[in-house]
Structure 1
Amino acid sequence: MADKEQEQVQAEVNQENMQTETDSTETAASDNQEACFNLEDVNQFVTALAEKSRLLDEMTDRYKRLQADFDNFRRRTRQEKEELSAVVAERIISELLPVVDNFERALGSAATDVNNLSTGVQMIFRQLNSVLSKLGVEPINAVGTNFDPAQHEAVMRVEDVSQPDGMIIEELQKGYRINGRVIRPSMVKVVGN
């Protein structure tokens, strides 16, 4: 009987050992599987990080190109503005040079005849006004109109019961606008009752 008991104990020990080995194998397999999953996760993260890095580099290059394009646009615009200003100045000067020529002629004839000087200056004044009109410059009408602070500058105020309040009765310096925009307001005397 002792042999049977011994065999039974041995069988139980063997069974426990087998169970322990099975548990160890399953645990090792489970750990390996987790390690595999972790390695796969790491590979996915590395791939995603590489893609994000590539996108960042691409966007940085696009930003740098856009910045360079904008700097070039700004430089080109400044050059075009300077060239346009030069063209406008040339046009104005070329329009005014005949007026200067006529002033020189008038001053040359002033020594011989004063009446011719007066006539010449009047003709030059008309010519200058014509040039200014061609360039879009027009005088601002002031006398007999109501005061408008956008077009007039009141430098004197007088009381006159025969005139309505705010009426301009005298222009001390003519104002001008170019293409509808005031470049110099009229200096005026206004009625203020």
Structure 2
Amino acid sequence: MDQPDRDGRTVADGRSGRRPASSRPGRPAATGGAGTAVADRPRSGWRQRIRTTLDLIRANPTGRVTLKIFVAVAGALVVTVGIALIPLPGPGWLIVIAGLAIWAVEFHWARRLLGFTRRHVHNWTRWVTSRSLPVRFVLGSVGLVFVATVVWLSLKYSLGIDLVARLLHYLATN
């Protein structure tokens, strides 16, 4: 039974259905010395090794299902830890994005969402860096106030610790 692979191409009998790089549409075959196609040479690099390993795993129907389950569980664990860390100071959102990147290995929706996130973070960063120093200072201050408010509310409602009340009590006794 034919099934689409992760890139939307039809896969029959467990094969990946991918064409060599030189015959893919829109990609001319680059040639190296002595007329050999560069795409036919084995590439070195960790990305190519990972891609090759994943293609080998996907070539087997059991491996394909196992890989999907592993990626789904690993991504869910990382995203869950990241979401738990969002209210705390630290890399909560970065961990959520890392979990999304893990899901993007196997799931098209995650690849699209990751691309959307990268685009908007890049556009935001470019916009902020093009502003004057006072505007960046105000944006940074608003960000710090937001993070402080989230930390205060998280501690107050999840652990029952009211930092503002404690600080006011401390200042009143001293």
Q: TM-score normalized by structure 1?
A: 0.22
More strand by share: 1
Q: TM-score normalized by structure 2?
A: 0.24
Tell me which structure has the larger Cα radius of gyration.
1
